[in-house]
């Protein structure tokens, strides 16, 4: 990662130093990289994917059994 540094000049005021720093940060592309990766999710491992699939299948089997026994009404999707 690129670190941006700005040295304050002898008779330079704080506002101009902050503006110069902001321009350097924008020019270096650090903010664009961070914003691009902000909402990315990491790839799940095979183990986690399989575990979730097994849980989903188990839930579906239990629901099918409850529907068969009449304890739960079957869900119908209409649009």
Could you tell me if 51 and 34 lie in one domain?
A: no
The answer to whether residue 1 scores a pLDDT higher than 70 is no
Q: Please identify which residue in the block is written with the tokens 């059994």.
A: 65
What mean pLDDT value characterizes the chain? 91
Q: What confidence score (pLDDT) does residue 77 get?
A: 79
CA 9 – CA 17 distance, rounded (Å): 8
CA 33 – CA 67 distance, rounded (Å): 50
CA 30 – CA 38 distance, rounded (Å): 12
Q: What is the pTM of this model?
A: 0.50
Q: Which domain holds residue 67?
A: 44-74
CA 55 – CA 67 distance, rounded (Å): 18
The answer to whether residue 64 scores a pLDDT higher than 90 is yes
Could you tell me if 30 and 48 lie in one domain?
A: no
Say if 55 falls within a structural domain.
yes
pLDDT digits (tens, 9 = 90+) for 24-58: 989 988 888 889 988 998 999 999 999 999 999 99
Could you tell me if 30 and 51 lie in one domain?
A: no
């Amino acid at each position: 990662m690129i670190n941006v540094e700005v040295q304050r000049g002898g008779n330079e005021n704080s506002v101009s130093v902050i503006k110069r720093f902001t321009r350097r940060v924008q020019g270096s592309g650090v903010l664009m990289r961070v914003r691009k990766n902000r909402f990315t999710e990491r790839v799940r491992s095979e183990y986690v994917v399989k575990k979730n699939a097994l849980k989903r299948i188990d839930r579906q089997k239990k629901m099918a059994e409850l529907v068969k026994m009449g304890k739960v009404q079957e869900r119908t999707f209409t649009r």
